Amino acid sequence: MTSYGEFLFERYRSFLVEFTDIQENRELLLGLKDTSLLSDSLLDGATYTKSVPFAPEKPISEVESFVRGATTVRGFTPFIVGRYASLFHEQHTAGSLDAEIITPPEVFEYTSQQWEAQFEEATREGLDWLVVDEQLPFGLLIEDEPAASVCVVVDDNGTLRGVIQNDNPDAVAWGRDLYEQYRQNARRPHKMSP
């Protein structure tokens, strides 16, 4: 085979692998409210973790591992899971996590009331929480340190369907850009204003 033929075959094989990954994770991808925001770079080489009937909390465990392995996390989420509230509190007050989170106002209100003591301690220790009135399309976490990585959290009206993770530099850049788009319109909630 010529070098051109080898190149063409390798590109074709890469396409088939990516197509197969997307097809196998169709249910998860269909859970995304707005796929126009997705980037090919997120899906290229991504790791998918789906919620399944016999292991519905598998994606939650992946998010926990993602956050526990990070020292700096930025992200947004349209919903809250109790284990996430405890996780961010634990990691932040232990001094092992620097985090900035964006949510809708109702998620902020619910979290600050439901986990009041944990919330106040974490924000006193420097957890940055912003709110945005725009509808957030899915959950997004970007780990900047110690290694750059991105995690998209897919839900169906608050029920976790799965996560998509990627440490490809282009995927991380996409995540950072998308985060900044929402951050531009975010504000500090009244309860946290100095």
Tell me which residue of 41, 40, 14, 39 sits closest to 169, measured CA to CA.
41
Task: Kindly report the backbone phi and psi dihedral angles of residue 29, in degrees, each rounded to the nearest multiple of 5, phi listed first.
Answer: -65, -30
Tell me which residue of 17, 27, 2, 39 sits closest to 175, measured CA to CA.
39
Looking at every residue in the chain, the average pLDDT score rounds to 87
In CATH, the number for domain 3-192 is 3.30.870.10
pLDDT band at residue 150, thresholds of 50, 70 and 90?
very high
Mean pLDDT in residue range 12-24: 71
Overall residue count recorded for the chain in this entry = 194
Q: Is the pLDDT of residue 62 over 60?
A: yes
pTM for the whole thing?
A: 0.85
Mean pLDDT in residue range 56-80: 91
Residue that wins the pLDDT comparison between 22 and 2:
2
Amino acid at site 7? F
Task: Kindly report the backbone phi and psi dihedral angles of residue 105, in degrees, each rounded to the nearest multiple of 5, phi listed first.
Answer: -55, -40
Q: Is the pLDDT of residue 191 over 70?
A: no
> What ranges in 73-188 are assigned the alpha helix state H?
82-93, 105-114, 116-124, 169-183
Q: Is the pLDDT of residue 181 over 60?
A: yes
The edge-to-edge listing of strands for the beta sheet with 128-131 is: 47-50, 159-166, 149-156, 139-145, 72-76, 98-103, 128-131
Tell me which residue of 52, 111, 51, 123 sits closest to 78, measured CA to CA.
111
Mean pLDDT in residue range 8-20: 71
Domain locations in the chain as residue ranges: 3-192
Q: Is the pLDDT of residue 193 over 50?
A: no
Alpha-carbon distance values, 122 to 36, 64, 89, 98, 109 (Å):
34, 17, 5, 10, 15
Percent of the residues in the chain that have a pLDDT greater than 70, as a whole number: 94
Could you read off the pLDDT of 98-137 as tens digits, one per residue?
A: 999 999 999 999 999 999 888 888 888 888 999 999 999 9
